[in-house]
Amino acid sequence: MVTKNILFTEKVYTVVKKIPKGKVATYGQIARLAGNPRAARAVGMCMKNNPYAPVVPCHRVVAQNGVLTGYSGKGGIRGKQKLLKAEGVYFLKNNKIHMKQSGWNQ
């Protein structure tokens, strides 16, 4: 079981490394691309424990509705928003990400 978890975690990091600047992906999308579509919460744990930041850009992973959630990096959620804005991610007036404009289609 531990080996299976390690393999999934590494797949998650591999997928997240592919998200380009100016784009975001959802936890569910990453779970699906890593081979376990029902593991969105596990993706969140991978992002929380990401030892490879910034090579694995965990700040580019967001909730399905475009809400910024769970960022353990510098500055918390505001820090995540600042990084994403600097990369060119589009935000709506309610501070949600404009998913049609900035969502990663993979």
Q: 85 is in which domain, residue-wise?
A: 2-102
Side-chain half-sphere CA neighbours of 70 within 13 A:
17
Q: Indicate the residue type of 56.
A: V
pTM above 0.75, yes or no: yes
Residues belonging to the active site: 58
Q: Please give the average per-residue pLDDT across 1-19, as a whole number.
A: 88
In this predicted model, what pLDDT tens digit does every residue of 31-79 receive, in sequence order?
Answer: 999 999 999 999 999 999 999 999 999 999 999 999 998 887 888 999 9
Q: How many domains does the chain have?
A: 1
Tell me, what CATH number does 17's domain have? Answer: 1.10.10.10
- The candidate with the shortest Cα–Cα distance to 41, out of 18, 23, 59, 64, is 64
CA atoms of 43 and 46, how far apart (whole Å)? 5
